[in-house]
Structure 1
Amino acid sequence: MSYTAATVQLLSPEGTLVESDASAEYLPYIEALSDDQLREFHRQMVVIRRFDQEAANLQRQGELGLWVPSLGQEAAQVGSAFASRPQDHIFPSYREHAVARIRGVDVIGIMGLLRGTTHGGWNPADTNFHLYTLVLGSHTLHATGRAMAMTLDGATGTGDPETDAAVISYFGDGASSQGDVSEALVFAASYQAPVVFFLQNNHWAISVPVATQSRTPLYLRPSGFGIPGIQIDGNDVLASFAVTKKNLDAARNGEGPSLIEALTYRMGAHTSSDDPTKYRLDSEVEYWEARDPIARFETWLRSRGEGEDFFADVATEAEDFAADIRKRTLALEAPPIGKMFDFVYSEPHAPLAAQKQWLADYDASFGSEA
């Protein structure tokens, strides 16, 4: 599936600004961005891609149990993440590495999660970026519940942009087929909850193509629930930012839920346990390679007069970041055996404490290693 007449695109694959009737309402959002903000879009995309590559290498070297790549989806994530505000709550799936970093999460937590040294990786209360969800689609219900609570608590729709909050939930085309997502849409529509469902359509639910999953474009699905949907070029960071900002602003203003389908492509494997060469054609990969989100944005920045020094500095920063992540990942140690019990309940819990003690005694019965 490629772009359609309904696809909102502000930056063409060739790196030129698209000025049309369809893009006119979103261009003011881009015109309001400073040069520093535009540079930050590029910097975040480049650094997170290098992080992604380093993490994949570490997995192949036996240092991670699994890796979930985001290669090719940087624009969808970076643009939408910058459209959020600190008071907004983010509910990710499991490959939103760029969103995590932009929201202030130390991505070593992601490495720890996939290395098996933590069950979470970070405290959502610190950044309003919630934990990764490996149970497909279930977090859309969590997101909707949070958004419903915001409405009931009077935390949204007051007219104060400094405090009004919304929720954004990320998931993929495969997860959109889960029943939990349909239930989330029902409740979001019924309660007019301030939630934006951000569907990253990367065209493959592991080995099942989106054409098999849905006979209609995914952005049309929510209309059956009474929720408006819009389709964007997910490899266009400008479109991702502008459309997400418009929809989050509307949600905070009390205008209810919406769904954004970002057409993008999973350039790598579904996870490191997958081999995409078994089920997809080289020609399809080449089609999307020509629409690379970083390359097109760099072309546009250069056309605006951005100098070579900036791009060189970003490349150096990306290499330094990757080296630091490698060093810190290799230094991660196994947690204490009882740690898995510590965050199950917020208050002391006698049966759990007994289980923790039993495990400690059992482990101690083996004695210390020579």
Structure 2
Amino acid sequence: MQTAGGINRYFANLISRLPQDYSPVLTTCQFQQVNYPTHTNLKTFFYKRFGFRPGRVSYWLEQYYFRAVTFLNQFDIIHPTYYLLLTRQEISQCKSPVVLTVYDMIHELFAEWMDASRELIEEKRKAILAAQAIICISENTKKDLLEQYSLPEEKVTVTYLASEIDASLSYGAESIPSRPYYLYVGNRTNYKNFECLLKAFTKAVSVQSHVSLCVVGTPFTRVEQKQIFELQLSDYIEHYAYVSDTHLAKLYRCSIALVYPSLYEGFGIPPLEAMSCGTPVIASNCSSIPEVVGDSGILFNPQVTNDLADILLDLVDQPTERDRLIAKGYQKSREFSWDKTVAQTIDVYRSVAG
């Protein structure tokens, strides 16, 4: 479902860093432009969706292809990348132990925005209850999970994510905004609270008209374009759709700060990437975000637009404070590593592999 999103990066790093005596098997129906993992012993079973016509026949056969793969291979463990299987069977039907990663509880907590029909919530519930072990990517996600579902706590392990982007990648020739700029990275779904940032930035540019806002992510929707126009921000916002890791690292390092106003995150990789690239972080004080940022960034109440506006204005004229936050951010970012994530994940695998 992703070309290079958070879950994609998670599994690409997890698989690629498994010990050399492991033999990971990847089942997929995604084309090669997806960010695939690498491993000496990696074996991939790839089903080309709609490889022949009619397409509905190809789609119907897909589930039986993956059922055959599962039947003919003796897997020690199955680790689904999400809450559904390519076999279109329920996880409770798996013959091998299942380790399931729960990224967040966004669908349950924001059902009216994310899953009004509650179809995915139900699939997720079945998967959670059927798995032999569960990995959560933050303590906050674990807390929310245990509040939503009646599970033994010993079944749940927390393994933090990490970042492969750092300042060493940030010195290429890629373009950046010509004016001093704040940076926003990621999607802008309702709970991401992008509207709060726009309103706060409107107040900021009314005082500091030389600053701009750089947005990295999908193109603006018509609703967003209308809102930007009505707030008279058209001349103050620059948009970059899809950028390479080196370009993103440079955008991080050269910004005044990353602004992350999300109402909820299972982990929140952009703040960690920003700290690794040497830029201050201004982020919400809720959900898992304080676990990632700690006292190395500026945390604010995402429900209060004026608080964020005041922070944006203050930081522009405080180079000493920026330097302090950058130094603390570098130090905080070193607490997270993919090697640590993989080692903890392997412990979970061993606990259920018998």
TM over 0.5: no
TM-score by length of 2: 0.29
Instruction: Choose between structure 1 and 2 for higher RCO, CA contacts under 8 A separated by at least 6 residues.
Output: 1
Q: Which has the higher strand share?
A: 2
